[in-house]
Amino acid sequence: MLLQSRPFLFSLLMLPALAMLAPLVLGAPWRVSIRPTGEAAAVLLILALAISPLKALFGATAWTRWLLRQRRAIGLAAFGYAAIHMVVFALSIGSLADIVAGMAWASMWTGWAAFAALLVMAAISNDRAVRAMGRGWKAVQRLAYPAALLTLAHWLLLTRDWSEAIIWFAPLGLLQLARLATSLRRRVSNGRTGR
Ligand code: HEM
């Protein structure tokens, strides 16, 4: 089935980018596409990070297995939107010197640092890298956690109304806490039964 194909899901997830960039064809300024592409990148990153806790909480069901299999496509789409976000931002500023100077602000360096983490993860998001890196591959993919924290900081620093950022990030925080509680409970009960 098509939905089992990673390239298909990646392409499907990237389709809304066309709508986000469409106003530019009609002459709108570059900056109109910064916000929607940033939000799409953040939401896909959150979804990719929610998959492990969902699997831990709900077990190996058909849908959690599907999400787990497709995690790489979702993560790559997060990077795809972040790359478009970065390009439209750079074009809206239009001067390399101004972009570099702007990196001194926390609202900007958090975005650049999140982007750098996503770039590293995307670069090794292929079967050859998985085989070549062995256990190290998973360790590098854990960069997704600092990337998400940096994205949250970037978002909060750029907007006065925090509600949207909180609405998207709170479920991820709760899922991670629930996963932690479940694994602690398992460890305690394994300790009691001596396993
Ligand atoms: C590559 C470096 C980055 C730069 C220079 C950058 C720049 C910006 C700028 C200027 C805005 C404000 C847009 C506006 O209010 O009109 C923004 C918003 C945003 N960016 Fe980034 N960003 C970067 C990386 C990222 C990354 C990696 C993510 C997510 C993974 C991200 C997610 C967001 C989000 C969620 C918003 C807020 C949108 C809103 O206010 O609703 N950004 N970014």
Give the pLDDT confidence of 14-23 residue by residue, as tens digits: 999 999 999 9
Q: Is pLDDT above 80 for 53?
A: yes
- The reply to whether 174 falls in a domain is yes
Sign, Cα dihedral of 180, 147, 159, 105? positive
Q: Which one, of 178, 171, 179, 153, lies nearest residue 47 by Cα?
A: 171
Q: What is the mean pLDDT of the chain?
A: 95
Segment 121-136 mean pLDDT: 95
pLDDT of residue 189: 85
Could you list the residue range(s) of the whole structural domain that residue 8 is in?
2-156+168-192
- The reply to whether 9 falls in a domain is yes
- The reply to whether 163 falls in a domain is no
Ligand 1 atom 22: the closest Cα is on which residue? 111
Find where tokens 């994205």 sit.
151
Ligand 1 pocket test: which of 84, 91, 158, 164 has the largest number of ligand atoms within 8 Å of its C-beta?
Answer: 158
Count up the domains in the chain and report the number: 1
- The reply to whether 102 falls in a domain is yes
Could you tell me the distance, in angstroms and rounded to a whole number, from the CA of residue 38 to the centre of ligand 1?
5
- The reply to whether 161 falls in a domain is no
Could you tell me the distance, in angstroms and rounded to a whole number, from the CA of residue 10 to the centre of ligand 1?
21
Q: Is pLDDT above 80 for 192?
A: no
- The reply to whether 29 falls in a domain is yes
pLDDT band at 191 (very low <50, low <70, confident <90, very high): confident
